[in-house]
Amino acid sequence: MTSGQDASVPGAAMPGGSSGVLEADEPIRVMGLHSLTYCERLFYLEEVEGILLADEAVYAGRALHEERGELDPSGTELRGLEVSSERLGLRGRVDAVRTREGNLVPYEHKRGRAFRDAQGQPTAWPSDALQVAAYAMLLEERFGRPVPEGRVRYHAENVTVRVPLTEELRAAVVAAVARARSVRARLERPPVSDDERRCARCSLAPVCLPEEERFALGTAGEPARLFPAVPDREVVHVMTAGAMVRRSGERLVIRAGDSELESLPIRAVGALVLHGAVQVSAQALQLCLAHDVSVHWLTAGGRYMGSLAPSAGSVQRRLRQYAAVTDPGTALRLARRLVSARVESQLRFLLRATRGDGEARTAVAETVAVLRAQLKQVARAEGVAALRGYEGVASKAYFAALPLLIHQEMRSLLAPRGRSRRPPRDRFNAALSFGYALLYSRVQQSILAVGLDPALGFYHAPRSAAYPLALDVMELFRVPLWDMPLVASINRRQWSSSDFVEAGGSIWLSDSGRRKAAKLFEDRLAESWKHPVLGYSLSYARTIELEVRLLEKEWTGSPGLFARLRLR
């Protein structure tokens, strides 16, 4: 296990290291060799698919390099030197170069501890040794003089170890470059590491999901949760008409007229959702793109307009996705599971909401029978078109029964009359549609974060401007993330007529209603629940992203976990 070193904290993107998809003949980053030695899948995710996530360890490593600065005031050390070689097929940025006993010596700085040999003496971790050796070879070519060794400084114990540039180590660098070229030429990701201990320290574990993959393949028991339980950044809704989002240094500042409504550090923002007449400056958009913050626009009435995302996903991910969703067998398998989850959620909600109430249970009995019948049909469906028919029958019965779940004294204000969308014909449907728009934007955010193409779905037909894949994933969450909270809030008498406006026969949420709905939705996302299959707990907000990542695994070698979540 190489977990004691800083550079061995995988996924660490140090200053000066570029990311993104590599050209076929482009030199390989020296940091890429470090990742390759640690785990070939890590190398592929970072160097081929361009996925770089920063966790606390990564930020700490960056801070170490920033504290050291770019130039040694004494002039005896050259820092952050860019080096490359077409002959070696390598490029990188060495932490420091010093002159020792007349020889150039590359230095690498690591936050962690050194490896201990059989005698207990500090030495370099194999991946660190390979990295500093590669820099030594690059320096030899750059300056035309021998570089006999490199050195690695481990700051956790203030130890510097020497790494002689032996012929064996030179050969290891050449072999690693050849292996890296072979791995990056693939379309499919390499398998997860055999060493589970390495996965526990990897910053890309939330992308790779190694524990979940082992579980899906039957090679491990209940997975340990390496996926974060809650989002580390918040979604910011801006609803004040006429508000302006600007940039101030590394912060987003929201102003309305002469008043500052909020000032947020960009590292605390996960997504920006703009409702109605809200403006955003070009500088603020650039800051969002630079920090992987997606921006979403909704009309004042809650209709989703579009989004701006930092990345649309790598070519490899899109090709795998396209091949999967255009395969009839794969599409039908996923669609069956999706519709089963949707209909079963509706069924369980009705049963849960009428538990202990004999009169209400009797009132929904016919609907319950319809939903159970459609579930049986879904399991035998021979095509996606048939599935849409079964789901349509189930949804019509479900929405017809929803008024029975609302307390009698609230029905005159907020009981639905079936399902109406554009325009909503009653207050319940106005609130329902607005909440679904919030859910759509959150699902879209997760799809973009994972790097999938939202236009390539497997169930919904592309009949409108809405992205099919976002509509697909939404089916899993309509009931638990909006139907249930909305009905519960109505029964708690949290809504009033002032939360709605009526114009031209249409009903929409007022400003107070939109704020109330957004808070209700975000509060629900923050709630924690236990995944019924994986067995660990996480927030609903993280569950959406997890489901998108599990969907991607359906065509990356470990299927079976997508759309398995159920209401208890």
The CA R_g of the chain, rounded to the nearest whole Å, is 27
CA distance 169 to 17: 23
pLDDT value for 312 = 55
Across the chain, which distance is largest between two alpha carbons, in Å?
A: 92
Quick check: 2 pLDDT over 70?
no
Output the six-digit token pair for 337. Answer: 């599971």
pLDDT bucket at 10, cuts 50 / 70 / 90: very low
The CATH architecture of the domain made up of 28-197 is Alpha-Beta Complex (3.90)
Contacts of 165 (CB under 8 A, 6+ apart): 133, 136, 137, 147, 148, 149, 150
Quick check: 117 pLDDT over 50?
yes
pLDDT bucket at 171, cuts 50 / 70 / 90: very high
Domain boundaries for CATH 1.20.120.920 within the chain: 317-553
CA distance 42 to 199: 10
CA 566 and chain centroid, separation: 21
pLDDT for 217-274, tens place per residue?
777 677 777 777 777 788 899 988 889 999 999 999 999 888 888 899 998 888 899 9
Average pLDDT across the chain, whole number: 85
pLDDT for 173-206, tens place per residue?
999 999 999 998 888 889 888 888 888 888 888 8
pLDDT for 313-339, tens place per residue?
678 888 999 999 999 999 999 999 999
pLDDT value for 289 = 87
Quick check: 59 pLDDT over 70?
no
Quick check: 8 pLDDT over 80?
no
Task: Answer yes or no: are the C-beta atoms of 117 and 21 closer than 8 Å.
Answer: no
pLDDT for 145-156, tens place per residue?
999 999 999 998
Question: What percent of the chain is modeled with pLDDT above 70?
Answer: 90
Q: What is the mean pLDDT of residues 201-215?
A: 86
pLDDT for 263-273, tens place per residue?
999 988 888 99
Among 329-333, 343-347, 408-412, 544-548, name the one with the lowest average pLDDT: 408-412
Domain boundaries for CATH 3.100.10.20 within the chain: 234-292
pLDDT value for 196 = 87
Right CATH number for 317-553 from 1.10.260.40, 3.10.20.440, 3.40.720.10, 1.20.120.920?
1.20.120.920
pLDDT bucket at 75, cuts 50 / 70 / 90: very low
Write b or e for each residue in 364-390: b if 16 or more Cβ atoms lie within 10 A of its Cβ, otherwise e. Answer: beebbebbeebbebbeebeebebbbeb
Cis bond before residue 416 (omega within 30° of 0): no
Long-range contact list for 167-175, CB < 8 A, 24+ apart? Answer: 169/129, 169/130, 169/133, 170/133, 170/137, 172/130, 172/133, 173/33, 173/88, 173/90, 173/130, 173/133, 173/134, 173/137, 174/88
Among 58-67, 151-160, 419-428, 479-488, name the one with the lowest average pLDDT: 58-67
Output the six-digit token pair for 471. Answer: 């509509």
Quick check: 18 pLDDT over 70?
no
pLDDT bucket at 567, cuts 50 / 70 / 90: confident
Domain boundaries for CATH 3.90.320.10 within the chain: 28-197
Nearest of 437, 474, 471, 448 to residue 288 by alpha carbon: 448
pLDDT bucket at 420, cuts 50 / 70 / 90: low
pLDDT for 76-90, tens place per residue?
678 889 999 999 999
Quick check: 63 pLDDT over 70?
no
Among 34-43, 196-205, 278-287, 523-532, name the one with the lowest average pLDDT: 196-205
pLDDT for 427-466, tens place per residue?
998 999 999 999 999 999 899 888 899 999 999 988 777 8
Beta bridge partners of 263: 253
pLDDT for 473-500, tens place per residue?
999 999 999 999 999 999 999 999 999 9
CATH homologous superfamily, domain 234-292 = CRISPR-associated endonuclease Cas1, N-terminal domain (3.100.10.20)
Quick check: 558 pLDDT over 50?
yes
Strands (DSSP E) contained in 350-505 are 500-503
